Structures are given as structure tokens and as C-alpha cells.
């Protein structure tokens, strides 16, 4: 009889606790409706322990109110990062409870709020990056990914932002996750200019964009192919591993990636660059030949070969690749620009020598020789620099460099005309 009494008493205690929690949830709802979200959170904190033993329907309601209260605080700029994170967790707990019980009441609203939180995190991350708070930006982007794992672009941006923060361990961990997902990021973006704002809007599909153009709200439609990001991912993984003294691991990671993605030429370039970094020039040349065999008319690929050759101080090869990229794509502005910059690099050595000369007869003769050599350098670079400026007229750095070249070659009229446009 005594044991039965104890069981009955325990049941009564649970029942009392359940009623108490119901009252607390109601009180929290009332506080939230009255605009007192902090009061609602405080009330719910007192009910947290009892929620563990509550019925599923009550648990779901508890998490729903908790999520709403925390999100409201974040919307009021109260401890935004913490409250967004806690609100997301509450909504996720709610969805888990309703999925387990099979009774859905709040999940749809919770999913909408999670999406809202995701975009708040992304916007906040972008703002942080603009003021060089890369570490906090990366964490927010990763949190946004955890809220919606289908949106893997946020995982990629989180990894890249950790690299910007020079936090290589978390970056490597996220890159490894991207590798396991076989993420490429390859796709197509559809753009059109919004007539109202004069800015480009991006659309999910060509049909959606074309519909808006037809309606007259947008014009100047364009399509942009987004190349695979695998090369960059594995390049960054390799560079981090090399930095840690794990060169063999870096080579193994890229070799595995190539086996999994045999048609992705960006990975061959990445592997070639790694062997270049480790001074294995024979393997580097072998891989470069393989790249050319696969895509002899890929302007971007040929341009990248030019960049790699320039980094290796092989200017003859670099010039050949840049000019080939221009043959394939005559408006390839970066090829013209890199050619000009590479040619102008020779000027530094000449200028430094000229600066050290004295006023002796021998020095004066040497000065005239160096002056002619400098003029030849500027003349050689000029057509590529002019073309780059023509193709990218808003590039202030190109114009400034071109202005300097005009001045060095005493092309007064051209210098005046360009200066008038700046």
C-alpha cells in the first residue's frame, strides 16, 4: 500500500509540474504579445527543466515560443549573434519533436523563421567581412550552412573566409567537408538590369529572368557560367597542408580529387601549381602538357597557364600563353593587363640602376643607354595597356599606370586627353 502511495504521489508531482509549465508558456506568450520578449525568455528559462518530461505537443509549443522570443530580441538588436543562434536551436528542436511525434503544428512557421535567421546571418557575415572581421564572418556563414545544409555555397564561403582570417585549421576542416560532399559549385547565373534601381538582379532560372524582361521591369539580360570551384578548394587545402609541412598529404588529396573528377581540368592546374611550389619542375611541365591536350582552346585555362608561368619567372612561356588567350578571346582584358604588367616589371631594375648613377661621363653614357632601354620597355607594354584601358575604362589603376607610361614616353597629347577623362 505504501509503494502505491509513492507512485501516486510521483504522478501527482509530474502533473503539477506539467500544469506549472503550461502556465509559464502562457505567461511567456502573453509577455511576447505585449512586446516584452526579454520577460518571455526569462519566464521560459524557469520552465526549461520541466519541458524535458512534458508531452510532445507541449514541448513543441515551448520551443516555438522560445524561438519567437529570442528572434524578437535579435530583431531588436539585443545580443544579436547569441539570440539568433539560440532561436535557431529552439526552432530546430521544435521541428525534431514534431517529426518524432508525427503531429505537425508549428514546424512550417518554424522553418520560415529558420530561413529568416539564415539570411540575417549571411547579411551580418557580409557586413563583418567588409570591416575585416573575417573570423566572426566565417562562423556566421558556417552557422547559416548548418541551418540549411542543402545550401552548400555557405559552407564554401565559410571555408574561404576562414582562410581570409588566417584560421587555417577550421578552414581545412570545412574544405575537407566540401571534399566529402564532392562539392563543385559549378552552375549558371541569370542576370538582368532592374530598370527601377539600374542594378543587376540575379534570377534562379532563365525562364524567370526572361519573364521579367518580357514584363518590362528588366532589360539587358545576360547569362554567366560559374566554373567549378574544386580547383580552388583543393589548391587551398594543398597550400594549408604544405604550410603545415604535410606536402605528401597535399599531393595525395589532389590525386584523390582527380580520380573522383577526371574531367575537371582546374584540379590538374592545382596539382601542377603544387609541384611548382615544391620545385618539381619536371612533373609540373608534364601536368601542363596534359592540361593543354584536354582543352587547347579554353581561354581561361590558357590564361591560368600564363599566370603559373609568370609566377615561375618564365616570362617567355607566360607571354606565349597570354597571347594565345587573346587569340582565343580577343576581349580578354586580364590577359592584356597581365602582359603589360609583366613587361613593365623590367623597368624596376633599370630605374634602380639609373637612380644610383652619378654625374661622371661614364655614368652619363650609361644613363642614356638605360633610358633607351626603359623607353623600349614602355613602348613594348603600351599597346597592351591601352587595350586593357579600352576594355575596362572604369579601372582607375590601369589608367594611372597608362598615364605614367605616356609621361615616360613624352606623349603629351595622349597624356592630356587621358587625364581629362579621369
- 288-327 per-position pLDDT tens digit: 888 888 878 888 878 888 888 888 788 898 999 999 999 9
Confidence of residue 53 (pLDDT cuts 50, 70, 90): low
Mean pLDDT of the chain: 83
Close Cβ partners of 80 (under 8 Å, ≥ 6 residues apart): 74, 124
How far apart (Å, rounded) are the C-alpha atoms in residues 408 and 379?
Answer: 10
Decide: 24 and 44 in contact? Cβ < 8 Å. Answer: yes
For the chain, the residue count is 422
Q: What is the pLDDT of residues 227-281, one digit of tens each?
A: 888 878 888 888 888 888 888 888 888 888 888 777 778 788 888 888 877 878 7
Report the pLDDT value the prediction gives residue 3, as an integer from 0 to 100. 43
Query: CA of 326: how far to CAs of 28, 34, 210, 321, 340, in Å?
Result: 67, 66, 32, 9, 13
Confidence of residue 8 (pLDDT cuts 50, 70, 90): very low
Q: Which DSSP category does 410 fall into?
A: T
The sign one gets for the Cα dihedral 341, 342, 344, 345 is positive
pTM value?
Answer: 0.58
Question: Angle between the 134-147 and 168-180 helix axes, to the nearest 10 degrees?
Answer: 30
Query: CA of 76: how far to CAs of 35, 37, 87, 369, in Å?
Result: 11, 10, 14, 70
Mean pLDDT lowest among 17-21, 137-141, 383-387: 17-21
Q: What cell numbers appear for 236 in the block?
A: 587551398
Report the pLDDT value the prediction gives residue 156, as an integer from 0 to 100. 94
Amino acid at each position: 500500500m505504501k509503494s502505491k502511495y509513492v507512485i501516486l504521489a510521483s504522478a501527482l508531482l509530474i502533473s503539477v509540474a506539467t500544469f506549472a509549465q503550461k502556465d509559464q508558456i502562457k505567461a511567456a506568450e502573453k509577455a511576447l504579445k505585449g512586446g516584452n520578449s526579454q520577460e518571455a525568455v526569462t519566464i521560459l528559462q524557469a520552465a526549461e527543466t520541466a519541458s524535458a518530461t512534458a508531452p510532445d505537443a507541449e514541448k513543441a509549443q515551448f520551443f516555438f515560443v522560445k524561438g519567437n522570443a529570442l528572434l524578437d530580441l535579435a530583431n531588436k538588436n539585443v545580443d544579436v549573434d547569441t539570440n539568433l543562434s539560440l532561436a535557431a536551436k529552439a526552432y530546430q528542436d521544435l521541428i525534431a519533436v514534431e517529426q518524432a511525434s508525427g503531429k505537425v503544428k508549428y514546424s512550417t512557421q518554424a522553418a520560415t523563421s529558420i530561413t529568416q535567421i539564415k539570411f540575417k546571418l549571411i547579411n551580418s557575415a557580409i557586413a563583418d567581412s567588409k570591416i575585416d572581421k573575417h573570423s566572426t564572418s566565417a562562423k556566421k556563414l558556417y552557422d547559416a550552412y548548418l541551418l540549411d545544409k542543402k545550401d552548400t555555397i555557405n559552407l564554401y564561403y565559410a571555408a574561404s573566409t576562414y582562410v581570409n582570417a588566417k584560421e587555417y585549421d577550421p578552414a581545412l576542416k570545412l574544405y575537407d567537408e566540401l571534399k566529402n560532399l564532392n562539392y563543385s559549385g559549378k552552375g549558371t547565373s541569370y542576370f538582368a538590369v532592374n530598370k527601377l534601381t539600374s542594378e543587376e538582379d540575379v534570377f534562379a532560372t532563365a525562364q524567370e529572368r526572361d519573364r521579367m524582361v518580357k514584363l518590362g521591369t528588366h532589360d539587358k539580360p545576360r547569362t554567366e557560367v560559374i566554373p567549378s570551384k574544386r580547383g580552388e578548394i583543393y589548391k587551398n587545402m594543398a597550400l594549408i597542408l604544405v604550410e603545415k609541412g604535410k606536402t605528401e598529404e597535399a599531393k595525395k588529396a589532389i590525386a584523390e580529387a582527380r580520380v573522383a573528377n577526371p574531367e575537371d581540368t582546374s584540379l590538374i592546374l592545382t596539382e601542377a601549381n603544387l609541384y611548382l611550389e615544391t620545385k618539381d619542375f619536371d612533373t609540373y611541365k608534364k601536368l601542363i602538357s596534359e592540361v593543354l591536350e584536354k582543352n587547347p582552346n579554353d581561354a581561361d585555362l590558357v590564361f591560368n597557364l600564363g599566370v603559373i608561368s609568370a609566377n615561375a619567372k618564365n616570362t617567355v612561356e607566360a607571354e606565349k600563353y597570354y597571347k594565345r588567350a587573346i587569340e582565343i578571346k580577343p576581349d580578354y582584358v586580364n590577359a592584356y593587363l597581365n602582359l603589360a604588367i609583366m613587361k613593365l616589371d623590367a623597368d624596376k631594375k633599370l630605374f634602380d640602376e639609373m637612380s644610383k648613377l652619378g654625374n661622371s661621363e661614364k655614368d652619363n653614357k650609361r644613363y642614356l643607354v638605360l633610358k633607351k632601354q626603359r623607353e623600349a620597355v614602355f613602348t613594348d607594354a603600351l599597346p597592351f595597356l591601352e587595350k586593357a584601358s579600352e576594355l575596362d575604362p572604369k579601372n582607375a589603376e590601369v589608367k594611372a599606370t597608362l598615364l605614367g607610361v605616356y609621361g615616360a614616353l613624352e606623349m603629351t597629347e595622349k597624356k592630356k586627353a587621358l587625364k581629362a577623362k579621369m
